[in-house]
Amino acid sequence: MSATCLLNNTPDADIVAEFEPRIIGFLCNWCSYAGADKAGSSQTPYPPNVSIIKVMCTGRIDPQFVMKAFNEGADGVIVLACHPGDCHYKEGNLRAAQRHAMLIRVLEQMGIEGKRCRFDYVSAGEGEKYVQVITEMVATVKQLGKLSLID
Amino acid sequence: MPEKPKLAIYWAASCGGCEIAVVNLHEKILDVDAAFEFMFCPCLLDTKKKDIEALPDKSIAITLFNGAIRTAENEEMARLLRKKSQLLIALGSCACEGCILGLANLHSKQEIFKAVYLDNPTIDNPAGTIPSPASEVPEGTLTIPAFYDKVKTLGQVTAVDYFIPGCPPESHQIWNVVEAVVSGAQLPPAGSVLGAGCLSVCDECERVKEDKKIARFYRNFEITPEPRKCLLEQGLLCMGIATRDGCGAPCPQANMPCTGCYGPPEGITDQGARMIAALGSILDIGDCKGKSEEEIAARVEALLDSVPDYAGTFYKYSLPGSIIGGRVKR
Ligand code: SF4
Ligand code: SF4
Ligand code: FES
């Protein structure tokens, strides 16, 4: 996916526009992963920068996963959950929302902009919302630029 | 009498508390002395670096190395002692995880120098001098060890055989390790943690644990905790749930929340992330039925607002050893 976008580089293009971020997406199997499928099957184009990791519920996402993603080169991380009330494990999504809010505070203190880590809700039927959220996320991270860690 | 095996205790960037913990072995220190030739410890003995350099490689049986790696000198000594020792053991949180001074990794070297040498209200430095590895003076060039951009753990600069966590490690745990080595007991594989458990401080804590549902946080000065109930359940940010056991849980027993000095539990790399994961499971944002996504987010934020410094609280002892390790360059 990301290999093809590197071909778009033109020497005199603005640096921000050239940069193609690498984003890791943790998607719940029951909702947003199916939402991504829906976007795909309806052939709606969206930026190819997100590498998806399917999880059984966003409540399974250990904050270590997110930190590891940043540490190993991700410029952004996106977590997509079932809407409140729709989580298959009752409240895994709310647990994830709480962890996300704390994680953002810690990441900000570490100099990683909160916007690099987004939490949102996308249902299985919301192919369009999926496309919108991914498009926004890629634009946001493009604007923030590459994330470089200490040494 | 055959020669006794050599024992060294070295401090790098540290406070001296680990040496105190060793001295707190009390009369058992005589047993240490009987078993070892205690030959290098800048805090207590007058052996010099050149004496260590003169030793054949691997001639020190055990070096207990406390302190983090803040300067080039710390790293040089770590490498020298690695070369001269059969066992290099990281003693204490600074060597294992970076500890309190590792919190400096939330700031750049420039910010630290500015705060310490320029803005500090008790310093008089009209020339704005800040330390530099080499300074020219009329007599020639003066050199001091370079101050690194970030604090590193011992394991980040050289191979470490074992880790004894704690700030400082409990004396009885240091004794357990010394005793195991002296008795020739089979030690666990290299890289293991010694003198601690494999669970969390909660497993050693005698406070009564019930269903955890935290509706709000309290800072330590805000409440007097009930004497027997789990402190976390009372809203105090007790790190015991994200901290390795082995200390015997003295802090919660004394009405103080655990601040996490034994580092992350077995199998966990990032103590702060562990604490976030744990709190995410037990924070109670109340009934979310019928609430919009924005309302839910706002309630979470309101609950979290009462704690001013998450990184400082969750990584008080473990920032350099954590996944991200500190503030990233920008
Ligand atoms: S959270 Fe703290 S007070 Fe509660 S059981 Fe664990 S160590 Fe004890
Ligand atoms: S209770 Fe926590 S802070 Fe206290 S000694 Fe044990 S690990 Fe350290
Ligand atoms: S099942 Fe989708 S977030 Fe829990």
Mutate one of A102, A107, A117 to test the B interface: name it (highest B CB count within 10 A).
A102
Phi then psi dihedrals of residue B218, to 5 deg: -120, 140
- Residues B64, B9 contacting (CB under 8 angstroms): yes
CB distance B322–A109 less than 8 Å? no
In a domain, residue A10? The reply is: no
Q: How much is the average pLDDT of B210-231?
A: 94
pLDDT in tens, B90-106: 999 999 999 999 999 99
Label residue A137 by pLDDT band (50, 70, 90).
Answer: very high
Of A1, A40, A55, A16, whose CA–CA distance to A128 is shortest?
A40
Could you report the per-residue pLDDT of B171-200, keeping only the tens digit for each? 999 999 998 988 888 999 999 999 999 999
CATH 3.40.50.700 applies to domain B6-100+150-193: yes
Is residue A49 domain-resident? yes
CA distances from B147 to A122, B96, B112, B119 (A): 48, 20, 11, 19
- Assess if residue A104 is contained within a domain: yes
Confidence band (pLDDT; 50, 70, 90) for A72?
A: very high
- Band of pLDDT at residue B1, cut at 50, 70 and 90: low
Cα B273 from Cα A63, distance rounded (Å) = 5
CA atoms within 13 A on the CB side of B239: 27
Is A126 among the domain residues? yes
How many domains does chain A divide into? 1
Nearest to A145 by CA among A7, A13, A16, A14: A16
Residue A1 confidence class, pLDDT cut points 50, 70, 90: very low
Q: Is A18 a member of any domain?
A: no
Q: Is the pLDDT of residue B2 over 70?
A: yes
Give the whole-angstrom CA distance, residue B26 versus residue A74.
51
Q: Does a cis peptide bond (omega within 30 degrees of 0) precede residue B121?
A: no
Which of B261, B266, B318 is the best mutation target for the ligand 2 pocket, counting ligand atoms within 8 Å of the beta carbon and taking the most?
B261
pLDDT above 90 as % of chain B = 92
Instruction: Please give the number of the atom of ligand 1 that sits closest to the Cα of B231.
Output: 3
Predicted local distance difference test score (pLDDT) of residue A82: 97
Structural domain boundaries, residue A74: 28-143
pTM: 0.93
* pLDDT tens by residue, A17-37: 579 999 999 999 999 999 999
Which helix (H) or strand (E) segment holds residue A139: the answer is helix A127-144
CA distance A59 to B228: 31
Reported ipTM exceeds the 0.95 cut: no
Task: Answer whether residue A134 is part of any domain.
Answer: yes
Asked if residue B159 has pLDDT above 50, the reply is: yes
Beta bridge partners of B137: B140
Average pLDDT rounded to a whole number, residues A98-113: 97
Are B280 and A112 in contact (CB < 8 Å)?
no
Q: Which of A26, A20, A14 is nearest to A99 (CA)?
A: A26
For residue B241, give the nearest of B265, B221, B217, B261 by alpha carbon: B265
Q: CB–CB of A150 and B279 under 8 A?
A: no
Domain boundaries, chain B: 6-100+150-193, 109-149, 201-314
Answer whether residue B7 shows pLDDT above 50.
yes
